[in-house]
Amino acid sequence: MKRLLLLLTCGWLTLALSAQDVGDWRESLRQWMTAEELEEGYGEETLEMLSEWAQNPINLNQTSREQLEQLPFLTERQIEGIVEYLDRYHPIRSLSELMMITALDYDTRQLLQHFVYVGEEKAKRVWPQMSDIITDGKHTLTATAKIPFYRRQGDRNGYLGYPYRHDIRYQFNYRNRIKFGLTGAQDAGEPFFSHNNSTGYDHYSYYFQLRDMGRLESLNIGMYRVNMGMGLVMNNGFHLGKLSTLQSMGRSTRLLTAYTSRSSANYLQGAAATVRLGRSWRITAFASYRAVDATLTANDMVQTLRTDGYHRTPSEIEKKHNTRETDLGGSFGWQRGTAYVNVNTVFTHYNRSLEPRQTPAYRQYAASGNDFWNSSVDYGYRNAQWSMSGETAICRQGAVALIHTVSWQPSDQWSLMVLHRYYDKRYTAQHGQSFSEGSSVQNEHGIYAGASWQPSRAWTIQGYADYAHFPAPRYLVSAPSDAFDASAMIGYQRKRWTFNMRYRYHVRQQDDSNKQYLANKSQHRLRMSAVCNATPTLSLRSQCDAVISSFQGERSRGIMLGQQVQWQWRWLKANANVAWFHTDDYDSRLYQYESSVRYDFSFPPYYGHGIRYALMGTADMGHNLSLTLKAGVTNYFDRSTIGSGLQLIDHSSQSDLLVQLNVKI
C-alpha cells in the first residue's frame, strides 16, 4: 500500500503542482510561536483566525489602525510605525517599502507580508451599494478529505462511521466588510447521515459578519468569537504562549470575529455587535444560546464539560448536545488617544448544574453550580517608548484575578517587558483564557520578564524567564508547588541564509511515585535550524531538536533530525519533509512542524524510534481552481502496534492521504 501511495503521489507531482510563492505564513510563524506553545495551548483557534486573514489580506493603502490591531503579532510600536509611514508616504507602491519602517524586524516583516497587500485605493461608502458587493465580492469553496491507509480497532468494531475525515467550507467576502459562510465538518469514525445524525455533518459553523459600517464597527450573527481585555473573563480566540507574548510585547486584541472553524468548541452562537457612540466611546454587547457536550452524573447533573467534539461511539453520541448554555455580556469602553478604559461583564447559565467530583484534591475549586458571573476593568496607556496594560477581574464568589504588563522600547533595537499575574484559586471564568503557566486562569501567581535585542538587521537575540507559584494542589501535584521556565533565542539572517538557535529550560514540581513529597521534573530543549533560499524557486530547511528530561533521578533523552525542501517553477510547487526521531519515552517527546493543506493544523508529538516523511503538491488548474494532495507516512522501528484502545493500529506504520479542492469566484 505504501508503494502504491508513493507512486500515486510522485505521479501527481510530476503532472501538476502549485503557483504559490515558496513558503507560506505558517513557515514565518515558526519564529513567532513554537510548536510546543501551539500544542500546549489553543493553537488551532489561533491558526484558524490567521488563516482567515491570510485568505482576506488587508490593503495597506486603505487600512486603519483598528484593522492593523487585529494582527496579534504586531506590537504597539510597530503599528504606530506602519501608520506613520502610511500617513507620510501614502499611497505606497510595494511591500518592499516595509523595510523602511525601522520598528519592523525581519521576522515580523516576513510574517506580515502574508496578511497585507498593496492595492488600489477605492472609494469607500458607509453602506456599500449592492452592485459593488456583487462585483467585488469573492466566493470561496474549499473541500478537504483525509483518507487513511490503515484500520484502527474502532474501525473494525466500535466506531459508528467510516474512517474518513472530511469537511467543506463556503465563504463570501467583500473587502473584509461583509462576510458570510458555512462550514461542515466530520471527524473520522463519526456517522454521516446515519445513527440519529440526519443532518449529515457532525458539526456545522454558520456565520454572517458586517464590519466598518459607519458607527456600526462590527455585527456578528450566527457563530462568533469574542475577545475582551486580556482574557480574564472572555477570550474565545487567541491564546498566546510565552515566546509569542514577548514578540507582541503583551499587546491585547479586542475583537468580534466570525467563527469559521471545523472545531465544535470554544465559540458563541447568537448575535454580537460593537457600536461607536462617539469619538471616544464604544459599546459591545452579545447574546448566545448553544448546546454543549457533557458527561452526566447519575442524577443528571454535569460532571464534566466535553470539548473534544468526538461523536464516534454510542457513549460519545449520548453526551452530544445534552446540556444548554446561555451567555450574555458586553463591554463599555472609553479611549482618548493612546489611553483606554473598558468595563466588561459576562453572565453564563447552564440548564444543568455543574457538579464536578471534589476528589482528588486538585478538583476542590472546580467551577460548580448553574450560574456564573464575571466582571472586569481593563486599561492601558502607551507613548513612543513605553506602554502599560492590565485587567482586574472578579467572579461571583468574590475571588479576583489580575494581570498587568509594562513594556519599554528605548530604541528600535531594544525592547523590555514585565508581566505579572495573580489568579486566585477560587476564581473561575467559563470563558477565561489568558497568559498562564497552568492550563487555566486559576490558582496561579507569577511574574514574567523578557527582553529582545536587535544589534543589527542581521542579528536578533531574545529571551524570557518566568516563575509561577500554585497555592493549591494541581493535577499530579498534591500540595502547593512552583514552576520555572526560561528560554533564549538567537537568530541570524543574511542574504539567502537564516540561522536560529533556541534553548528552553522548564522545571515543574510534581508528586513523587509514592506521593510522599514533591520532586522537580525538568526539561532541557534545544533547537537549531538553518534555512537557505538557494534560488527564488528553491528553499531548504534543516533542523535539529534535542531534549533531556529528568525526574527522581531518572533521565530520558530524545533527538530529532529534520529536512524540508520546497521547490516551485512557474505554476509548479513541491514540498517534501522528512524527520528521524529517537527518544527514550513520552517525557522526551519532540515536535516537528510540517506543511499541510489549508486549514489543516497538526503538531503531534513524536516519541520512540521512527521516521516521518511527507510529500505535498498543489496545482493551480486555472486562475480560480486549485487541487492539493499530501501523502504522509510514519514508520516506527520500536513497536508493532500504534496507539491504544479504539485508536489502536495493528501495524508499525501508518500512512494517509490528504486531498483538498479550492474554488474561487
Cell 489568558 sits on residue: 434
Q: Could you count the other beta carbons within 10 Å of the beta carbon of residue 113? A: 16
Contact call for residues 375 and 345 (beta carbons, < 8 A): yes
Is the pLDDT score of 24 beyond 90?
no
Give pLDDT tens digits for 233-269: 998 766 666 776 776 666 666 778 899 888 888 899 9
Q: What are phi and psi of 475, to 5 degrees?
A: -60, 125
Q: What are phi and psi of 456, to 5 degrees?
A: -155, 175
User: Distance (Å, rounded) from C-alpha 173 to C-alpha 142?
Assistant: 14
User: Which of 11-25, 64-78, 138-152 shows the lowest per-residue confidence on average (mean pLDDT)?
Assistant: 11-25
User: Distance (Å, rounded) from C-alpha 539 to C-alpha 377?
Assistant: 47
Q: List residues bridging with 547 in a β-sheet.
A: 525, 558
Residue 495 cell numbers, joined: 542574504
User: Distance (Å, rounded) from C-alpha 80 to C-alpha 253?
Assistant: 15
- Calculate the average pLDDT of the chain: 87
- Tell me what pLDDT residue 333 has: 94
Contact call for residues 330 and 375 (beta carbons, < 8 A): no
Is the pLDDT score of 537 beyond 90?
no
Residue 104 cell numbers, joined: 519592523
Contact call for residues 590 and 605 (beta carbons, < 8 A): yes
Is the pLDDT score of 313 beyond 60?
yes
Residue 288 cell numbers, joined: 448566545
- Three-state secondary-structure class, residue 362: helix
Q: What is the 3-state secondary structure (H, E, C) of 568-604?
A: EECCEEEEEEEEEEEECCHHHCEECCCCCCCCCCCCC
1 confidence band (pLDDT: 50, 70, 90): very low
- Three-state secondary-structure class, residue 64: coil
Please report, as a single letter, which amino acid is at residue 302. Answer: V
Contact call for residues 219 and 322 (beta carbons, < 8 A): no
- Tell me what pLDDT residue 20 has: 36
Is the pLDDT score of 649 beyond 60?
yes
Give pLDDT tens digits for 74-121: 877 788 889 889 888 888 888 888 888 877 877 788 888 888 988 887
- Tell me what pLDDT residue 361 has: 85
Is the pLDDT score of 42 beyond 70?
no
- Tell me what pLDDT residue 329 has: 96
- Tell me what pLDDT residue 251 has: 64
CA dihedral 251, 254, 260, 264 (to 10 degrees): 90
Give pLDDT tens digits for 600-639: 876 778 999 999 999 999 988 878 899 999 999 999 999 9
Q: Which long-range contacts (CB under 8 A, 24 or more apart) does 102-108 make?
A: 102/412, 103/75, 103/77, 103/78, 103/412, 104/78, 105/454, 105/460, 106/457, 106/460, 106/493, 107/28, 107/31, 107/32, 107/460, 107/491, 108/32, 108/73, 108/74, 108/78, 108/247
Percentage of the chain beyond pLDDT 70 is 91
By residue count, the chain amounts to 665
- Tell me what pLDDT residue 96 has: 87
- Three-state secondary-structure class, residue 359: coil
User: Distance (Å, rounded) from C-alpha 293 to C-alpha 204?
Assistant: 15
Is the pLDDT score of 410 beyond 90?
no
Element (H, E) at 5: helix 2-15
Cell 502496534 sits on residue: 641
- Nearest alpha-carbon partner for 26 in 17, 35, 39: 35
Is the pLDDT score of 424 beyond 80?
yes
Element (H, E) at 615: strand 609-620
Contact call for residues 614 and 577 (beta carbons, < 8 A): yes
- Tell me what pLDDT residue 223 has: 96
User: What is the DSSP code string of 477-524?
Assistant: B-S-EEEEEEEEEEEEEETTEEEEEEEEEEEEEEE-TTSSSEEEEEEE
Residues in Cβ contact with 271 at an 8 Å cutoff, skipping those fewer than 6 apart: 219, 220, 221, 286, 287
- Three-state secondary-structure class, residue 307: coil
User: Distance (Å, rounded) from C-alpha 634 to C-alpha 188?
Assistant: 18
Please report, as a single letter, which amino acid is at residue 660. Answer: Q
Please report, as a single letter, which amino acid is at residue 553. Answer: G
Residues in Cβ contact with 514 at an 8 Å cutoff, skipping those fewer than 6 apart: none
- Nearest alpha-carbon partner for 661 in 618, 612, 622: 618
Q: Measure Cα distances from 47 to 53, 173, 179, 212 in Å.
A: 10, 19, 19, 24
Mean pLDDT of 476-492: 94
- Three-state secondary-structure class, residue 238: coil
- Tell me what pLDDT residue 3 has: 41
Element (H, E) at 76: helix 76-89
Contact call for residues 133 and 178 (beta carbons, < 8 A): yes
User: Distance (Å, rounded) from C-alpha 464 to C-alpha 630?
Assistant: 37
Give pLDDT tens digits for 364-397: 899 999 999 999 999 999 887 888 999 999 999 9
User: Distance (Å, rounded) from C-alpha 453 to C-alpha 316?
Assistant: 50
CA atoms within 13 A on the CB side of 238: 27
56 confidence band (pLDDT: 50, 70, 90): confident
